[in-house]
Amino acid sequence: MTSSPPLHDPAPQRRHISNTERARLFTLHKGVCHICGHKIDGTKERWEVEHVIPWAMSRDDSDENRKPAHERCHDTKTTQDRTNLAKADRIRMKHQGAWKSKSPMRSKRSTPVSR
């Protein structure tokens, strides 16, 4: 029996976002950081195109899932996303029976009989 790959399987590659595409997304979303809600000054502040729903979970590169975000906001969200992805993988593996417990429950058969 083989287990399914983790939710964040790195095999598929993200496509590169060109400068033209970055500018189009910035304009489409009115230059607002979707995480903190503040306006991004594109000439003074570093910003990145960020996936609202992590790409590793959705593989969605639609305009509604890719929005501008301040670099520092994006870093914070990415850290949280990684934690959530790892937890989702553990839960999925546990439900499939593939997760090996670090402290398995002992059955009555494995304990010495005491009378």
Q: Which stretch of DSSP H or E encloses residue 67?
A: strand 66-70
Say if residue 68 is exposed, middle or buried (CB neighbours under 10 Å; 0-12, 13-18, 19+). Answer: buried
Residue 60, phi then psi, degrees to nearest 5: -100, 115
Per-position pLDDT tens, the chain of length 115: 444 555 555 556 667 889 999 999 999 999 999 999 999 998 899 999 999 999 888 888 899 999 999 999 999 999 999 999 899 888 888 888 776 767 766 766 655 555 5
Structural domains of the chain ordered from first start: 19-96 (1.10.30)
Instruction: Specify whether the backbone of 30 is left (phi greater than 0), alpha (psi in -120 to 50) or beta.
Output: left
Tell me the sheet residues that pair with 66: 51
